[in-house]
Homo-oligomer: A and B are copies of this chain.
Amino acid sequence: MKSAAAVFLLAIVVMISARISPTVAAELRSTGGLAVVIERTTGSVLIVERGSRQVLDRVEGFGDLSHASVVFSADARFAFVFGRDGGLTKLDLLTGEIVGRVIQAGNSIGGAISDDGALVAVANYEPGGVRVFDAETLEPVADFDTGAKTIGLVEAPGRRFVFTTWDTAETWIADMSAPEPSVTIVPDIGANPYDALLSPDGRTYIAGLFGEDGLTMLDLWEEKPTPRRILPGYGRGEEPLPVYKMPHLEGWARAGGRFVLPAIGRHEVLWVDAASFEEVARTETHGQPVFAVARPGGRQVWVNFAHPRNDTIQVVDTVTGEIVKTLKPGPAVLHMEFAPRGDEVWVSVRDEDKVRVYDAETFAITGEIAAGTPSGIFFTARAHRIGL
Task: Give me the interface of A with B, judged by CB distance under 8 Å.
Answer: 9, 12-13, 16-17, 20, 24, 27-34, 49-51, 72-77, 93-95, 115-117, 155, 157-159, 177, 201-203, 221, 256-257, 275, 295-299, 319, 339-344, 361-362, 380-381, 383-386
The minimal Cβ–Cβ distance linking A212 to chain B, given in whole angstroms, is: 29
List of B residues within 8 angstroms of A33 by Cβ: 73-77, 383
Cα distance A122–B361 in the bound complex, in angstroms: 24
Given contacts A32-B380, A116-B343, A343-B116, contact A74 B50 (CB under 8 A): yes
Cα distance A339–B201 in the bound complex, in angstroms: 14
Task: Kindly identify which residue among B32, B257, B296, B362 contacts A275, using a CB–CB cutoff of 8 Å.
Answer: B257
List of B residues within 8 angstroms of A93 by Cβ: 30
List of B residues within 8 angstroms of A319 by Cβ: 221
Residue of B nearest to A382 (CB): B384
List of B residues within 8 angstroms of A29 by Cβ: 28
Cα distance A104–B203 in the bound complex, in angstroms: 44
Cα distance A295–B273 in the bound complex, in angstroms: 25
Q: Is the CB of B95 within 8 A of A341?
A: no
Main secondary structure of the interface of A (DSSP, over half): loop
Cα distance A74–B342 in the bound complex, in angstroms: 12
Q: Is the CB of B76 within 8 A of A340?
A: no
Count of chain copies: 2
Taking A50-B74, A158-B361, A340-B383 as known contacts, 9 extra A-B pairs with beta carbons closer than 8 A to each other, sorted by chain A number, are A24-B27, A30-B77, A31-B32, A201-B297, A257-B275, A340-B385, A341-B384, A381-B381, A381-B383
Q: Is the CB of A362 within 8 A of B94?
A: no
Cα distance A298–B220 in the bound complex, in angstroms: 13
Q: Is the CB of A299 within 8 A of B361?
A: no
List of B residues within 8 angstroms of A344 by Cβ: 116
Given contacts A297-B203, A344-B116, contact A32 B74 (CB under 8 A): yes
List of B residues within 8 angstroms of A74 by Cβ: 32-33, 50-51, 339, 341
Q: Is the CB of A299 within 8 A of B157?
A: yes
Cα distance A339–B298 in the bound complex, in angstroms: 23
Q: Is the CB of A202 within 8 A of B297?
A: yes
List of B residues within 8 angstroms of A32 by Cβ: 31-32, 72-77, 380, 383-384
List of B residues within 8 angstroms of A158 by Cβ: 361
Given contacts A157-B342, A157-B343, A297-B157, contact A30 B76 (CB under 8 A): yes
The minimal Cβ–Cβ distance linking A179 to chain B, given in whole angstroms, is: 13
List of B residues within 8 angstroms of A72 by Cβ: 32
